[in-house]
Amino acid sequence: MEQDQAVQVLGSLASGPRLDIYRLLVRQGLAGLVAGEIGAALGVPPTNLSFHLKALVHAGLLTVTAEGRYQRYRANMALMLDVVAYLTEECCAGHPEQCAEIRATSHCPPAMLPSLSRVPTA
C-alpha cells in the first residue's frame, strides 16, 4: 500500500456518519445492505447518505452492486486489513518480538495482528 492510498482511506473515515456506515456494513458481512436500509438503520437522510456513500466508494472502502433499481453496499474488509498492515508493518522498528506486550494489551483477535515472526526487508 502506498501512503497516498492510506491517507485517502483514513481521510474518508474522518466523519462520524461515514465511520458509522462503514462499521454497520462490517457487521453485515458479505450480505451488505441496500442504501435505504443503511439510511433507515442510521437515521441519515437520502441526500446526505448518497454523499457519504460516494466518498466511501471512491476511497475503495465500499463496493457497490446494482440489484435492479437498488444499490447494495458492502465493506471492503481486505482494504481495511491492508491499511492496518500498512500502519503496523514496522512495529517495534523491525524487532517484532518487542511487540509481545503491545499484543497482550490489544483488544484485537490475535489473527488480526501483525505476525511476530515477520521482519521487514530493507
pLDDT at 94: 66
Q: Specify if 115 maps to a domain.
A: yes
Query: Which residues of 15-77 form beta strands (DSSP E)?
Result: 33-34, 62-67, 70-75
Range of the domain at 96: 91-122
Q: Let me know the angle formed at the C-alpha of 15 by 48 and 103, rounded to the nearest 5 degrees.
A: 140
Task: Name the domain count of the chain.
Answer: 2
21 and 58 together in one domain? yes
63 and 36 together in one domain? yes
pLDDT at 17: 96
Taking the C-alpha atoms of residue 31 and residue 11, their distance in angstroms, rounded to an integer, is: 26
pLDDT at 110: 72
Q: Specify if 86 maps to a domain.
A: no
Say if residues 31 and 75 touch (Cβ distance below 8 Å).
no
pLDDT at 95: 72
Q: Specify if 84 maps to a domain.
A: no
47 and 18 together in one domain? yes
φ, ψ for residue 106, nearest 5 deg: -75, 145
Give mean pLDDT in consecutive 10-residue pieces for the chain, a chain of 122 residues: 93 96 96 97 95 96 95 95 85 72 76 59 45
7 and 53 together in one domain? yes
40 and 97 together in one domain? no
| Residue 117 in grid coordinates | 515472526
Taking the C-alpha atoms of residue 48 and residue 38, their distance in angstroms, rounded to an integer, is: 12
115 and 72 together in one domain? no
